[in-house]
């Protein structure tokens, strides 16, 4: 028997403390008890994001929050600039098309981060664009974009442009790359390092973003941020919230507070470094060698070993679920998630399984050498 382990970049392993916190008789979302949970979660997320106002809680996955953000600050005919360096970066333009916005995409080679120069050029060409959209970590290519640097470029050319950061797979793994005002909208999602089941998104807005909301015609009832702001002021959400997940979020935030933010970011950095050195020792090639993100590592298996066969062998023989490639990397890469409730021994398990599976599939891999490359890091 092997334990089922989720080493995927979402959903992720949920700690016992969070599961237990959610195992309560169903709370009514208009009750005083739930109000307390909601306001505690708002305060906790303000702390986690170093934000100066309460974030909104939406009952939807991350894509819903991306769409809601554009819906609330853009009107038909507006232009947005988006960084497209992977499957999630490409999503902005797809949403824009549905919302009748025109998207100017900064196309980035998959596996590389966007550069300040690319951003400078795009913003100089479209200085009146309404919003600038980027992922903090592009989960599909496992790249961490230099968000803080590029947003300073955006703001130095066009201070009124609303910057939207999809921090869904980076939140709680890396420091928030800027203050409110540099980042105008920050999006987090539950099923990543927040260590919760899917279904809850958190969206934080700066004063500039709220001004943008106030001057934009309302186009959605469900995703009306102004209604949510009003509801939250009295400890509620406009619609039925993902209440159980909000209760769980408070337990997750308590764990973050106990570990400490710096220690948590440092753990993710170490888990990512351990994964890199071990995968290299197994003969794999890292996808994002220039700017890897701390939440997930993408790699090409050694030559002659099929990526999907490797992933399937790891799951069938050792119970560990890894993720495959998306878009143009489908069938070419494997991704190992190390975000959220992950410790060095989870990485040891993942690397051991990958090494053994490479051998089973006819490749050569010195699993013991790969493990010894990381043991000193534990």
In the complex, the smallest distance separating the C-beta of residue 296 from ligand PLP, rounded to whole angstroms, is 9
Shortest CB 324 distance to ligand PLP, Å? 13
Whose Cβ is closer to ligand PLP: residue 169's or residue 244's? Answer: 169
3 state SS of 7: coil
User: In whole angstroms, how close is the CB of 187 to ligand PLP at the nearest point?
Assistant: 8
Q: Which residues of 93-105 are buried (b: 16+ CB within 10 A; e: fewer)?
A: bebbeebebebbb
**Nearest 5°: phi and psi at 307?**
-60, -45
CA-CA distance, 181 to 163, in Å (whole number)?
9
- Bridge-partner residues for 299, per DSSP? 286, 334
Q: How far is the CB of 168 from ligand PLP (least distance, A)?
A: 4
Name which of 275 and 367 has its Cβ closer to ligand PLP. 275
Tell the smallest beta-carbon distance from residue 9 to ligand PLP (Å): 6
Q: Considering the complex, state which of residue 189 and residue 212 has its C-beta at the smaller distance from ligand PLP.
A: 189
- Looking at beta carbons, which residue is closest to ligand PLP? 62
Give the shortest CB-70-to-ligand PLP separation in angstroms. 13
| Complex with ligand PLP: residue 194 or 358, whichever CB lies closer | 194
Contact residues for 306 (Cβ-Cβ < 8 A; gap 6+): 331, 361
Q: Which of these, 82, 166, 94, 86, lies nearest to 132 by C-alpha position?
A: 82
Token representation of residue 337 = 């998630």
Pick 139 or 243: Cβ nearer ligand PLP: 139
Q: Of the two residues 119 and 171, which places its CB atom closer to ligand PLP in the complex?
A: 171
Comparison of 169 and 206: residue with beta carbon closer to ligand PLP: 169
- Taking alpha carbons only, the member of 9, 11, 15 closest to residue 338 is 9
Minimum distance between the CB of residue 359 and ligand PLP, rounded to whole angstroms?
A: 31
Give Cα separations from 51 to 33, 46, 55, 326 (angstroms).
Answer: 25, 5, 8, 32
Cβ neighbour number for residue 230 with a 10 Å cutoff: 12
Q: Choose between 14 and 358: whose C-beta lies nearer to ligand PLP.
A: 14
**Pairing mode, if any, of strands 296-300 and 79-84?**
unpaired
Helix intervals (H) in the chain: 16-22, 32-49, 62-73, 91-98, 116-125, 147-157, 207-214, 225-233, 243-259, 261-281, 307-318, 344-360, 367-375
Q: CA dihedral defined by 148, 149, 150, 155, rounded to 10 degrees?
A: 80
Task: Report in angstroms how near the CB of residue 95 gets to ligand PLP at its nearest.
Answer: 11
Residues making contact with ligand PLP (CB under 6 A) = 10, 61-63, 88, 135, 139, 166, 168-169, 189
């Amino acid at each position: 028997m092997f334990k089922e382990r989720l080493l995927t970049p979402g959903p992720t392993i949920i700690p016992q403390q969070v599961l237990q916190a959610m195992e309560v008789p169903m709370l009514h979302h208009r009750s005083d008890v739930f109000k307390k949970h909601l306001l505690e979660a708002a305060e906790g997320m303000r702390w986690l994001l170093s934000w100066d106002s309460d974030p909104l809680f939406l009952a939807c996955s991350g894509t819903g929050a991306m769409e809601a953000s554009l819906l609330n600050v853009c009107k038909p005919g507006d232009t947005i600039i988006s960084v497209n360096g992977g499957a999630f970066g490409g999503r902005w333009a797809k949403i824009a098309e549905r919302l009748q916005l025109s998207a100017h995409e900064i196309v980035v080679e998959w596996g590389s981060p966007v550069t300040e120069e690319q951003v400078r050029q795009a913003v100089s060409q479209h200085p009146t664009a309404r919003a600038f959209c980027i992922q903090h970590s592009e989960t599909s290519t496992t790249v961490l974009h230099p968000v803080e640097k590029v947003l300073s470029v955006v703001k130095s050319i066009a201070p009124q442009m609303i910057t939207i950061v999809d921090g869904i797979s980076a939140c709680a793994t890396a420091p928030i790359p800027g203050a409110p005002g540099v980042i105008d909208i920050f999006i987090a999602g539950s099923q990543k390092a927040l260590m919760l089941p899917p279904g809850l998104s958190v969206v934080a807005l700066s004063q500039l973003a709220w001004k943008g909301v106030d001057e934009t015609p309302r186009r959605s009832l469900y995703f009306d941020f102004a209604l949510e702001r009003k509801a939250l002021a009295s400890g509620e959400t406009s619609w039925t919230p993902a209440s159980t997940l909000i209760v769980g979020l408070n337990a997750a935030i308590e764990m973050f507070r106990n570990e400490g933010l710096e220690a948590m970011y440092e753990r993710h950095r170490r888990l990512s470094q351990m994964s890199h050195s071990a995968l290299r020792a197994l003969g794999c090639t890292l996808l994002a060698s220039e700017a890897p993100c701390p939440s997930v590592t993408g790699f090409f298996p050694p030559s002659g070993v099929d990526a999907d066969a490797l992933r399937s062998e790891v799951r069938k023989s050792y119970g560990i679920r890894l993720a495959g490639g998306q878009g143009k990397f489908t069938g070419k890469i494997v991704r190992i998630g190390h975000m959220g409730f992950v410790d060095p021994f989870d990485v040891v398990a993942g690397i051991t399984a990958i090494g053994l599976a490479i051998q089973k599939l006819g490749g050569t891999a010195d699993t013991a050498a790969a493990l010894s490359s990381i043991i000193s890091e534990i």
